Amino acid sequence: MGWSAICGTFAFITGAAALGYVPFKFEGEPASPWLAAAALLFLIPFLAIGVCCLAAPLVGILKGGNTVHAITDRRLISVSAGLFKGADSYPLAGVNFIKRKDRRNGSGSLQIGYGVTHDADGDPRPLHVDWSGIPDVQRAEAAMRR
């Protein structure tokens, strides 16, 4: 949020300066509107990164509404339809841990660990996938543990 606020503020100010609404000074002298336009073009990629960071949770929510999960005797499968089409598959034998979160109505979500990677310092970091919106989360966990 801070990234977008800072970049948005600078983009607004430089855009106003490029249009001549705000005096834009360079070394004490009035600068050309072209300098303000160049500064605005420089800020656009940073502003785009901020917008993408703000949109990431919304993308997850939209993708989760069109995702179906399946558990077979060998694999865990997630298939997404709609705008964010795709499929993920993980071997059931590679599952390290399962964390369940329950809601009052019996639905919930599962966090499934399927491996380990190492960060730049060499410290281990678990790889996991989140399954949300499962109607009977206890039954899904029991099927996975069998």
The tens place of each residue's pLDDT in the chain, 146 residues long, gives 677 788 888 888 778 877 777 776 767 776 677 777 888 888 888 888 888 888 888 887 787 778 888 888 888 888 888 888 889 888 888 888 889 999 888 888 888 888 888 988 989 888 888 888 888 888 888 887 77
| 72 SS3 class | coil
Three-point CA angle 26, 32, 35, nearest 5°: 75
CATH of the domain at 81: 2.30.29
Among candidate residues 12, 40, 64, the one where a domain is terminated:
64
Which residue range forms the structural domain that includes residue 97?
66-145
- Asked if 93 and 120 sit in the same domain, the reply is yes
Beta strands in 28-96 (DSSP E): 29-30, 67-71, 75-80, 86-91
Nearest of 112, 123, 114 to residue 91 by alpha carbon: 114
